[in-house]
Structure 1
Amino acid sequence: MAKPNYTLKDKTLNGLGNLIRLLPTGTVFIYQLLNPILTNDGHCTIINKYLSGILIALCGLSCGFSCFTDSYTDNEGSTHYGIATMKGLWPTSKSMDTSSYKIGVGDFVHAFFTMVVFGVVTILDRNTVDCFFPAFESTEKTLIMVLPPVVGAISSVVFMVFPNKRHGIGYPSN
Structure 2
Amino acid sequence: MDVKAPHLSDEQKLPLLHNMDIVEPQKTLIHRAINQTCKSTAHLSNLLPTGTVLSFQILSPIFTNQGKCDDNPVTKLITLSLLSLCAASCFLLCFTDSFRDNKGNISYGFATCKGLWIIDGSATLPPELDAKYQLRFIDFMHAVMSILVFSAVALFDQNVVKCFFPSPSHEMRQILTALPVGIGVFCSMMFVAFPTRRHGIGFPLSTN
**Greater displacement, 75-84 / 125-134:** 75-84
Do 2:114 and 2:131's aligned partners in 1 also have CA atoms closer than 8 Å? yes
> Secondary structure, in 3 states, of the residue corresponding to 2:66?
helix
CA distance in 1, matches of 2:162, 2:181: 21
Give the equivalent residue in structure 1 for 2:205: 172
Aligned length, in residue pairs: 171
Deviations 1:56-97 (A, max 9, x none): 000011011111011111122211111101111112523544
Do 2:90 and 2:146's aligned partners in 1 also have CA atoms closer than 8 Å? yes
CA distance in 2, matches of 1:13, 1:71: 23
Q: Is 1:94 aligned to residue 121 of structure 2?
A: no
4+ runs deviating over 4 angstroms: none
Give the equivalent residue in structure 1 for 2:49: 24
**Greater displacement, 141-150 / 122-131:** 141-150
1:32-71 correspondence to structure 2 within 5 Å: 32-44=57-69, 45-71=72-98
**Runs of at least 5 residues in structure 2 that lack an aligned partner in the other structure:** 1-27
Do 1:74 and 1:96's aligned partners in 2 also have CA atoms closer than 8 Å? no
CA distance in 2, matches of 1:143, 1:10: 36
Q: Which has the larger radius of gyration?
A: 2
Query: Counterpart amino acid of 2:32?
Result: T
Would the alpha carbon gap of residues 95 and 143 (structure 1) be closer, same or farther in structure 2, given more than 3 Å must change?
A: closer
What is the Cα deviation at residue 8 of structure 1?
2.3
Query: Counterpart amino acid of 1:124?
Result: F
> Secondary structure, in 3 states, of the residue corresponding to 1:82?
strand
Percent of aligned pairs with the same amino acid: 40
Compute the RMSD of aligned alpha carbons. 1.8
Query: Counterpart amino acid of 2:103?
Result: E
